[in-house]
A and B are shown apart, each in its own frame.
Chain A
C-alpha cells in the first residue's frame, strides 16, 4: 500500500506567514510537500466555515497561521482570529473533527525556519492521525467523521 499522503490546507495571512513561507523558499529550506497555502489578507478574514469547508472538501488537516500577537499588520485582526478560534476549537469536536487536525501558529515574516517546522510538524501529526473521511463518502454531503 502506498504511504498515506495527507492533504493539508493552510490559511495564512499575507503579511507575516505568507511572507515567512516565501522566505523559507528564498532560503531553500526543504519541507514536506503536502501543504497547500490559501493566501488571505489577515487571519481576521478567516471564517471558521473555511476550515469546516476544507475538511468537507477532503482536507486531512488545516493550518491557520498569522502574525504574532501585537504584530498584526492590521493592528489587531489576529486578536479577533485568536478569540474566534478559541471558541471554534470546542465546536470541532461537536462536528466530529479531531481538534488535533487544526494547527494554529504564529509565524512572522522573518521566521522561514519556523514555517518549515510548522509544515513538517503538521504533516507528521496528520500522518499519524490518518485520513479524515466524511461518513457518507460523498463530497460536500453528510456529517463529518474523522476516524482517529
Chain B
C-alpha cells in the first residue's frame, strides 16, 4: 500500500502569489495513497528540508512528491533529503508548479487548479516508481580542451598543474587566439604579447599537456568520464618531428604576397609561413591554396614546379604528400573554449543567418574603414607597420580618427540585440594608443552609452576623455562614404541635438562579438545547445556558469557570451576547477535511468539494437543447463546507455524498460490527467 507524502512549497511569493499552496495540499490530502500533505513557505530552506525528512520518518512514507520549482532546479536537493531519511532517492519526484504554472499564469483559481492537477499526476507516477541504485562508472582522468586562446590556455594549465593529463586542440597553426593579435590590453595598457607568450610557452613545455595545433575535433562519442574524441590533424605539409622552426622555408618561398590572416589582411605572408614570430608550436604551415606547386598540380601540370622550400630545408622536413591524420583520445571531461569572431559589415556573414551587414557603411568596401582587430595590428610593434598607425590606403598618418561603437551590437534590426561588452573599453584603449603615437591627432567617438563596468574600467574611459581629449559624441552614424582623400562621416549628436558631417582620415568600427564559425557543428558533436546567436548555453546563468547541460562538458571564454580577458581567464580557471573536482572522485555516480531488458520475454528481434543511438544494446545467449543455446536476447550495457528510451518505444513487445520512465509510470501520469 502506497504511503505518499506531498510537500507543497510557496517559494515565498513566487508560487504563493498565484497558486494557493494550502489548497493544493488540502486537495491532495484526500487523494488515494497520500498519507501526508503539507505546505511550507520555503521547502528548500533548512527548516523546509528538515520538515520533509521528519515527515518521511514519522509517516513511514513510501514515496515523496515535492510540488515546487523545476526538477532541473531542486530534484537533486530533495532526492538527497529523501536519501537522508532512509528513502530510496528515486522515490522522490518534483511537481513543477513554479516555472510551468505560477510564473506563467495570472488567474489564481486556474493556476491553483492546474498546480493541483500537476501534483496529482506526479503522485500517480511516484506510486509506480521503483527504488533504483545509482550506477558507478570509472573515470578517465584526462581532459580535452578545445581552443587554444587565453581561456583554453588558462584551463589547460590549471588542469595540468592540478595533476590531470590535458589534450589541447587548436584549429590554427599556433595557440594564442585573438589575444596574441592585440597590441595592448585595457585597463592597464599591458603589452598583450608580453603577458601571453610566457603562458603559451608553458603550455608547450608542460609534461602533462599534449598540444594538437592545426587540428580540429572530428567526432565525439561516449559520456561523462568516458568520452572518446577523434581529432583531425590537418596536413601542414611539414614533418613536425623533423622541423626545428628555423624559418629557412618561409624565407625561400617565392610567393610572398598572400594576405596574412594574422595581420587581418593588412600584411602579407609567404605561402609557407608561421603566423607570428612567437608562435607555439613554432612550425610553419604550407598553404596549399596559395602554393605554386599545388596550384600547378591542380591545373594538371604534372611536372613538379617550385619546391624552393624543400630545397631550403636542411632537415628534409617539407612533406608535400602529407595527408590529414586522425588520432583518437580518451578523455573524462571536455572544456569548450573556442572564442569569438568579429561581425563583418560586408554582405557575407559566416554563419550569420538573419544578419544583413551595413550597406550605409559601404559593406566594408570603403578604404580606410577598418575594424578593431585591424587597428590592434596597426598599433602593434610586431604588426605590419612596425607599430606606426597609418592609413591602409596610402600609408599617411591619420590626423583625425573616428571610432564607431555598437556596430552590429544592440541593433535588433541587424539580428544582434545583445551588447558586445568589450567594445566601450577597447575603443577607449584605441583612443589612447592612437594619441600616444600621434600626439596632435584628434579622436572622435560615436557611442550609444559608455558601459565601463569593471575594476578600473570607468577610470580608464575617463582618462581617454580627460587626458587624451577624445571627443565623445552620443549618437549613431548614418552613413560613411569616400570623398577624395577622406572618409565622410555623417552622424547625429543626440545630446547636442545637431547633425554632424566629419572628414575622417581613418574610421574604426567596433564591430559586434560573435561566436566562431563552426560553433553549431561543434555543439552538435558535443550534444550541447547554443542560444539563437550561436553562443553555447551554460547550465544555469547564475549558479552553473561554466557547466553545460551535458554532463562532463564545460565552457569557458567568449564562446559562451562576449567576454573580456579577465573574465575569460576566470572562466578557464573555473572550468578547470570543475573538471578537477570531477576527477577527484574515485568513481562516478550516474543516474540509474537506464534501459533494462526482460530476458524471459525478449523475442530477440533486436529492433532496440538498431535504434539505440549509443550502441548500448548487445546480444546475450540464453542457455539451458546442458549448455544448449535456447535463444539470443538483447542486453543493455548500463555504462553506455544514456536513458533516452527510444528502445522501449520501439520494442514491439515492450520487453525493454527505461528505469524511471517505465510504461507503468507514464500511463499512470496520463490516467491522472483525465
Q: Which residues of A contact B (CB under 8 A)?
A: 7, 9, 15-16, 18-19, 21-22, 24-26, 28-31, 33, 36-42, 44-47, 50, 53-54, 57-59, 70-77, 80-81, 84, 108-111, 116, 139
- How far, in Å, is B108 (CB) from chain A's closest CB? 11
Whether A38 contacts B649 by the Cβ 8 Å rule is no
Segment from B234-242, B362-370, B497-505, B664-672 that makes contact with A: B664-672
Whether B99 contacts A36 by the Cβ 8 Å rule is no
- How far, in Å, is A97 (CB) from chain B's closest CB? 15
Which B residue's beta carbon lies closest to that of A119?
Answer: B104
Partner of B673, one of A9, A25, A41: A9
Known: A15-B549, A41-B593. 12 other contacts (CB 8 A): A7-B674, A9-B673, A25-B104, A28-B103, A33-B107, A54-B670, A57-B670, A58-B673, A73-B549, A74-B613, A76-B613, A77-B645
Whether A7 contacts B673 by the Cβ 8 Å rule is yes
Instruction: Kindly state whether residue B49 has any CB partner on chain A within 8 Å.
Output: no
Q: Given A21-B99, A25-B98, does the pair A36, B117 have CB atoms closer than 8 Å?
A: yes
Q: Which residues of B contact A80 (CB under 8 A)?
A: 611, 646, 649-650
Which A residue's beta carbon lies closest to that of B663?
Answer: A47
Whether B524 contacts A19 by the Cβ 8 Å rule is no
Partner of A59, one of B101, B537, B673: B673
Instruction: Kindly state whether residue B527 has any CB partner on chain A within 8 Å.
Output: yes
Q: Give Cα distance in the complex from A11 to B331, angstroms.
A: 35
Q: Which residues of B contact A110 (CB under 8 A)?
A: 529-532, 537
Query: What 8 A-B pairs are tightest by C-beta distance, nearest first?
Result: A45-B645, A25-B99, A44-B646, A57-B674, A74-B644, A42-B644, A25-B103, A58-B674
Instruction: Kindly state whether residue B105 has any CB partner on chain A within 8 Å.
Output: yes
Q: Which residues of A contact B549 (CB under 8 A)?
A: 15, 19, 73, 109
Interface residues in B, total, Cβ within 8 A: 50
- How far, in Å, is A45 (CB) from chain B's closest CB? 3
Which B residue's beta carbon lies closest to that of A34?
Answer: B114
Interface centre among B531, B532, B658, B671 (most CB of A within 10 A): B671
Whether A19 contacts B550 by the Cβ 8 Å rule is no
Instruction: Kindly state whether residue B273 has any CB partner on chain A within 8 Å.
Output: no
Q: Given A25-B103, A44-B644, does the pair A108, B529 have CB atoms closer than 8 Å?
A: yes
Q: Give Cα distance in the complex from A81 to B613, angstroms.
A: 13
Whether A39 contacts B71 by the Cβ 8 Å rule is yes
Q: Give Cα distance in the complex from A57 to B666, angstroms.
A: 13
Whether A36 contacts B524 by the Cβ 8 Å rule is no
Whether B646 contacts A45 by the Cβ 8 Å rule is yes
Q: Which residues of B contact A16 (CB under 8 A)?
A: 529
Whether A53 contacts B667 by the Cβ 8 Å rule is yes
Instruction: Kindly state whether residue B174 has any CB partner on chain A within 8 Å.
Output: no
Q: List 11 A-B contacts (CB under 8 A).
A: A19-B72, A25-B104, A36-B118, A36-B673, A39-B71, A41-B593, A45-B644, A45-B661, A74-B644, A75-B527, A116-B104
Whether A71 contacts B529 by the Cβ 8 Å rule is yes
Whether B667 contacts A41 by the Cβ 8 Å rule is no
Whether B537 contacts A109 by the Cβ 8 Å rule is yes
Whether A22 contacts B70 by the Cβ 8 Å rule is yes
Q: Give Cα distance in the complex from A18 to B674, angstroms.
A: 21
Q: Which residues of A contact B62 (CB under 8 A)?
A: none
Instruction: Kindly state whether residue B110 has any CB partner on chain A within 8 Å.
Output: yes
